Structure 1
Amino acid sequence: MPARRAVTGRSQEPRKRFAEELRSLRAERELPLRKLGEVVGWDWSLFSKMENGETLGGPEVVQALDQYYGTPGLLLTLWELAVSDPTQFKERYQRYMRLEAESVSMWHYAVGALPGLLQTPGYARTLLSTSGMEGAELTKQVEARIGRRTLLLGDGAAQFRTILSETVLRTRLPNGDEWREQLEYLLTMSERQNVTIQVVPHEVGLHTLTNTDVMFLRLTDGRPVAWVETGYSGDLVEGAAAVEGLQLRYDRVRDLALSPAESRKFIMWTLEETSCEPSI
C-alpha cells in the first residue's frame, strides 16, 4: 500500500501554519505589504514580522485581517492555536500545561511574582528578560504567556484563586506606567466571578508556603494535581498523599490571607500609592 499523503503541504506547527496562511492570503491578492498596511490601518512592518513568524500580533489586528480577507474567524482561530501552543514552552512544562487546559479549577500561591495567567505584556516581558531572554525569542515567549490568559476568560472559564504574598505587590516594575497597568489589570480580573485574588500581608510572619510557589489543578475527573515551582525548575506532583499534604499547607495560608474584599482594597491602595509618586 502506498504511503498516505498529507492533504496539504502546510505546516502542522501552529505558529508556522499561521504565518503561512498570512503569506498565502496576501499572495493571492498580489498585495504589497505597504498597501496592506494602508488598507487595514496598521504599520506594514508589523505584517512583515507576522508573515516571517517573528511575532503573532494581537487579536485586534488579526480580526482586522480576517475582515479584510473575507475569512471570518479563520485567522483568529489559527492565532489562538499559535499563542497557546505548548511547544513554545520548555519540555518540562508541557504535561502541566495540557492538564491546566483541562482543569475545572486552579488554586495558586505566589511567593515573589504574579502568576502568568494574570500578567500583562509589560510584566511578562520584564520578568522573562531577567533570565537573559531577548529579541525574537523573548517576544515569542511573552506572546505565548499572554495567550494563556484566555483560560480565565469567556463562558465556562475555569475557577481560579491566587493568594499573593505582599512581596508580589511590593516588587514593582521599573516602568511606572507598566506597573500601574499591571495593578489595574489585577483589579479588573478580581471583578470576574471566576477569579479570586487574596493577599497575605507581611505582618503574618513566616508560614507553611513562605518559600513555595504552587498551583493546584482539579481535573475533570475530580483528581487534584500540583505544580511546585522555583525560579529554575518545576515539578508536577500527582501522588495523592503528597498533593493532600500541599493542600493542607495551602489551606493554612488561606486562613492567614486578607479576604477578597480586603485584598482588593490593598491592591487599590498600592495603585494609589504608586500613582501619587512623582514622575522622574
Structure 2
Amino acid sequence: MSTDNGGRDRSDHTTDGADGASWEEDWEDDYGPAIRATCRQIKLWREGAGLTQQELGDAIGYSLGMVSAVERARRLPHPDFLAKADRILGADGKLAAMKKDVEEARYPKKVRDLAKLESEAVELGAYANHNMHGLLQTEEYTRALFEMRLPPYGEDEIDRQVAARMARQEIFGRRPAALLTFVQEEVTLRRPIGGRMVLRRQLEHLLEVGQLRNVEIQVMPTDRVKHAGMAGELRVLKIKDGTTVGYSEAQLTSRLVSDPREVQILEMRYGMIRAQALPPRESLAFIEKLLGEMT
C-alpha cells in the first residue's frame, strides 16, 4: 500500500480485474517473519529426526529441490507438505498448526488487505463496468480473466490468484450477514469471458446469488441516457466501527478512499447509479432473458 500526494492510501495493484503492476509473489511482507520461522522449524525438526532433505522428500512425496527451497524460505510450504512433514518428523501438530498462516500468505497482499476490509463491512455496495465483480465471479470465469492477463501469469500464479479471489467469497456465508448490493453493466452480462459456456454458468450463478436475502443485484442497461458511473468502477463499504470508506480501481492501481469528502462523493454517485439501474427483480428477469437467448 502506498500513499498519494494528499496523504491517502493507495494500493499498488488492482484486485477484481485481471491486471496488476507485478507478477511476482509478494508474501514477503507482514507474513515474512512467520513464514521464515516456519521454514526454520521444518529444517530443525528434520535434522532432529536424523533425515537428509532427500530422505524427507522421499517420505512425504516432494522433490529434494522443493524441500531445499522450503527450508531456505524460497518457496511457501503447501499445507499438504506441512501435514505430511509433521507426521513423518513426529512434530505432534507443531508444524501442521502453521497451515492457516501459510495458506493465507499464499494470497497476494493486496487481496488479503481487501478481504480483511470486506470481512469488517456491515454493508458493501459495488458498481462494475468491465467484468463481473470479483465477489460474484465463478471460479472458471475468474480463471479465464487471469489467463488473459498481460504480461502473462504462470500456471502456479494463476492458481494462487484464483484461490485468493474465491476465498473472498466467504463473505456470503458470514454471520451476521452483511448487506451486499451490486450494479453490473449490461455489457458484462454479454461479454463471453472464457467462452459461451463459462458465461452461461456465470449468469446462472448470478441468479443463484441474487436469491440470497442479503444480496441485491442490479443491471445498468446500455441504453441509459444518464449515467452517474461514467468515471469508472467504485465500491463503498460501511465498516462495523461506524466508518465508511470507498474503493476505486483503474489500470495498474487501486485506491482506498478514506477522506470523508471523497467518500461522500462516491456514496452519492453509487446512490444515483442504483437509482438509474433496473430494480433487483427486473434485473434478475433481465439475466434470465439473456440465459434464454443463449440456448
- TM-score, normalised to structure 2's length? 0.65
Check 1:256–1:147 CA distance in 2 against 1; reply closer, same or farther (3 A cut): same
Cα shift at 1:175: 2.2
Stretches of structure 2 lacking an aligned partner (at least 5 in a row)? 1-30, 50-55
| Contact 2:122–2:239, Cα closer than 8 Å, also in 1 | yes
Cα shift at 1:158: 2.3
- Name the CA distance, whole Å, in 2 between partners of 1:126 and 1:160: 25
Within the candidate set 180, 198, 201, 2:200 is matched to 180
Partner residue, 1:117: 135
Partner residue, 2:151: 132
Partner residue, 1:231: 251
Check 1:75–1:174 CA distance in 2 against 1; reply closer, same or farther (3 A cut): same
Check 1:180–1:165 CA distance in 2 against 1; reply closer, same or farther (3 A cut): same
Residues 112-137 of structure 1 show CA distances to partners (whole Å, capped at 9, x for unaligned) of: 11111111122112222333332222
Check 1:195–1:266 CA distance in 2 against 1; reply closer, same or farther (3 A cut): same
Q: Which amino acid aligns with 2:227?
A: H
How many percent of aligned residue pairs carry the same amino acid? Answer: 28
- Name the CA distance, whole Å, in 2 between partners of 1:131 and 1:159: 34
Check 1:269–1:191 CA distance in 2 against 1; reply closer, same or farther (3 A cut): same
Check 1:53–1:145 CA distance in 2 against 1; reply closer, same or farther (3 A cut): farther
Check 1:235–1:250 CA distance in 2 against 1; reply closer, same or farther (3 A cut): same
Within the candidate set 258, 264, 268, 2:288 is matched to 268
Q: Does residue 107 of structure 1 match 2:113?
A: no
Q: Does residue 98 of structure 1 match 2:121?
A: no
Q: Which amino acid aligns with 1:81?
A: E
Residues 134-155 of structure 1 show CA distances to partners (whole Å, capped at 9, x for unaligned) of: 2222221111111111122243
Cα shift at 1:33: 10
Within the candidate set 242, 253, 256, 1:222 is matched to 242
3-state secondary structure, aligned to 1:178: helix
- Name the CA distance, whole Å, in 2 between partners of 1:249 and 1:210: 10
Within the candidate set 201, 209, 215, 1:189 is matched to 209
- Name the CA distance, whole Å, in 2 between partners of 1:168 and 1:156: 30
Q: Does residue 81 of structure 1 match 2:138?
A: no
Partner residue, 2:12: none
Q: Which amino acid aligns with 1:194?
A: N
| Contact 2:107–2:161, Cα closer than 8 Å, also in 1 | no
- Name the CA distance, whole Å, in 2 between partners of 1:184 and 1:120: 10
Cα shift at 1:83: 6.1
Stretches of structure 1 lacking an aligned partner (at least 5 in a row)? 1-11, 38-43
Check 1:231–1:114 CA distance in 2 against 1; reply closer, same or farther (3 A cut): farther
- Name the CA distance, whole Å, in 2 between partners of 1:36 and 1:265: 52
Q: Does residue 142 of structure 1 match 2:177?
A: no
Partner residue, 1:3: none
Q: Which amino acid aligns with 1:137?
A: E
Cα shift at 1:179: 1.6
Partner residue, 1:207: 227
Check 1:36–1:184 CA distance in 2 against 1; reply closer, same or farther (3 A cut): farther
Within the candidate set 157, 163, 167, 2:183 is matched to 163
Q: How many residues align?
A: 249
Q: Which amino acid aligns with 2:185?
A: S
Higher helix proportion = 1
Check 1:16–1:95 CA distance in 2 against 1; reply closer, same or farther (3 A cut): closer
| Contact 1:224–1:238, Cα closer than 8 Å, also in 2 | yes
Q: Which amino acid aligns with 1:118?
A: L
Check 1:54–1:138 CA distance in 2 against 1; reply closer, same or farther (3 A cut): farther
Residues 81-105 of structure 1 show CA distances to partners (whole Å, capped at 9, x for unaligned) of: 356663xx3xxx6654432332211
- Name the CA distance, whole Å, in 1 between partners of 2:138 and 2:237: 22
- TM-score, normalised to structure 1's length? 0.68
Cα shift at 1:254: 0.9
Q: Which amino acid aligns with 1:234?
A: S
Check 1:212–1:15 CA distance in 2 against 1; reply closer, same or farther (3 A cut): farther
Let me know the Cα RMSD of the aligned residues. Answer: 4.3
- Name the CA distance, whole Å, in 2 between partners of 1:262 and 1:113: 20
Check 1:257–1:76 CA distance in 2 against 1; reply closer, same or farther (3 A cut): farther
3-state secondary structure, aligned to 2:144: helix
Check 1:190–1:226 CA distance in 2 against 1; reply closer, same or farther (3 A cut): same
Q: Which amino acid aligns with 2:118?
A: E
| Contact 1:200–1:257, Cα closer than 8 Å, also in 2 | yes
3-state secondary structure, aligned to 1:204: coil
